[in-house]
Chain A
Amino acid sequence: AQTVTQSQPEMSVQEAETVTLSCTYDTSESDYYLFWYKQPPSRQMILVIRQEAYKQQNATENRFSVNFQKAAKSFSLKISDSQLGDAAMYFCAYRSAEWGGSEKLVFGKGTKLTVNP
């Protein structure tokens, strides 16, 4: 079974600075998908960014980018020019591409990000 590990329960960053959230995963599969979700205090789960394992290029969405290292099974999220609205819980998640495993996601335990003004 796949596992996802987020080793930083809490992180903090100064407004306008850059922060990187770590995520590692364990799988024997070669094809899969990785996601970062943001959960603000409203409890809503918001997709931040996704990465296909077969793509070598790292995904980017505005101020959010990932560093995907397939061999190292690492999928870190970099937030540039941090804003107060980025304060939230961030979850890393894995989705298998294989039949019989793609119907669910496996989540890490989350990282709580605080943005200081």
Chain B
Amino acid sequence: NAGVTQTPKFQVLKTGQSMTLQCAQDMNHEYMSWYRQDPGMGLRLIHYSVGAGITDQGEVPNGYNVSRSTTEDFPLRLLSAAPSQTSVYFCATLPNFPQNSPLHFGNGTRLTVT
């Protein structure tokens, strides 16, 4: 069981470039989400999905795009990278039940935008 697989682990982009962070899960969890982690800011929710075909914005959605065409995959797209998007990105999944289930995290992607 791979759990939550995030790729790539590291990425360096130039300002204005676009890229997609991949996230795949094999646990059949209904909920998937993307968080960014910045020093002193904790983890902040970017976008989330409650099922295939359904996505919604989190706390910090600007500059990011998501789609969920299957239960397994939830890619995060940076449309035009900016230095403010330098961060560590986590994909996480959550089953609908039981509700005391914790988030299952991928190993994170460290993104640097120059």
Contacts and interface: CB of A to CB of B under 8 A. Distances in A.
A91 B102 CA distance: 13
Contact of A50 (B40, B90, B94, B102): B102
Contacts of B103: 35, 45, 93, 105
A107 interface: yes
A81 B31 CA distance: 36
Interface in A71-106: 91, 93, 95, 97, 102-106
B61 interface: no
A30 to B, nearest CB: 14
A107 B50 CA distance: 19
A44 B42 contact: no
Interface in A40-63: 43-45, 47, 50, 52
Contacts of B30: 103
Contacts of A110: 42
B102 A47 contact: yes
A91 B99 CA distance: 19
Nearest to B51: A103
A9 B41 CA distance: 10
B94 to A, nearest CB: 7
A93 B110 CA distance: 22
Interface of A: 6, 9, 33, 35, 37, 43-45, 47, 50, 52, 91, 93, 95, 97, 102-110
9 closest A-B pairs (Cβ-Cβ)?
Answer: A109-B42, A45-B105, A107-B43, A103-B31, A107-B42, A47-B102, A43-B108, A33-B100, A103-B50
